[in-house]
Structure 1
């Protein structure tokens, strides 16, 4: 088993677990708004798509429809955050940006896959999924590399922020009597950070 396959297995396990988490959170309840339900379902759809993308049979996914779907999902988060009325518009938009950028990254990967498939059909070279061991930047334009690099850097920054934000307070959280809300927030930030990091890795890996 190659190192690339090991990473692919790890990413598949991560995104499969993230999809299960999002589906559990997306179950409708009396205390959860409809917007929150849709948010979690979009996260689950993204995680499921990401779980199969590293593998050759992931090429069966329709790239262009996926690009359109996740582009719409990227707009959903900031637009619904602004319209929710629960926070000031700027704060709500900033809080939704990591989710929106994650969907943009998914859109970008689907778009690149579709472009590679079309180039393959025209030139008769192996498909993107059959050239897994080539560098992700070989044959890509400088503009493609810049977009990929910016998205990956932003997601990595968001990931590190989510994963390290609560570290100094973990002991204090576990010692409080009423800690369910705090622990729940830590739990959600862990999944946000882990998913963002997995997405950044996927962006930088060949597809």
Structure 2
């Protein structure tokens, strides 16, 4: 894999992401969601009064030195959410078919990064110890411009090389193996909305007594 900084990264649509995940471990799919679906999901998120300060760790402790975003867990109880979950289900089935990944379910939440909010470098799963296998990040910022901040920085597994700086452009979908890529979100300079999600393995089935 190239060690040069990539501002966009490997990109593709549909089955292309399978090859990208296999070769690079991550894939950026520009324009994965339609403009109409992005608008519906963004409007729903902006209208909600259920935002909570995001936590860190299994106990969800609030640590504003690590992250300052706010979240709402998605329940699939609206038409835009149902359409979004249908598209994620197609990915789950395809990844299971090709990688025998044993992905059992998908969970996700809206994320709002107000001005100045960030998320320090972290991994979404500890190697061999977590249920989260494949991470998804879908962006809901159709008017994003360079200088608005909120880019996601993706690092290699050894945490020695920055692989990509990904702009949170509306409709784009990022996928990466949860254990393998440290990443962080730079401070936002305008309101930044996204959907963070995880395709999960059932640990009880994967690690029977």
Query: How does the TM-score come out when normalised to structure 2?
Result: 0.25
Q: Which has the higher helix share?
A: 1
Considering only CA atoms, is the larger Rg found in Structure 1 or Structure 2? 1
Q: Which has the higher strand share?
A: 2
**Higher normalized contact order (CA 8 Å, seq sep 6+, divided by chain length):** 2
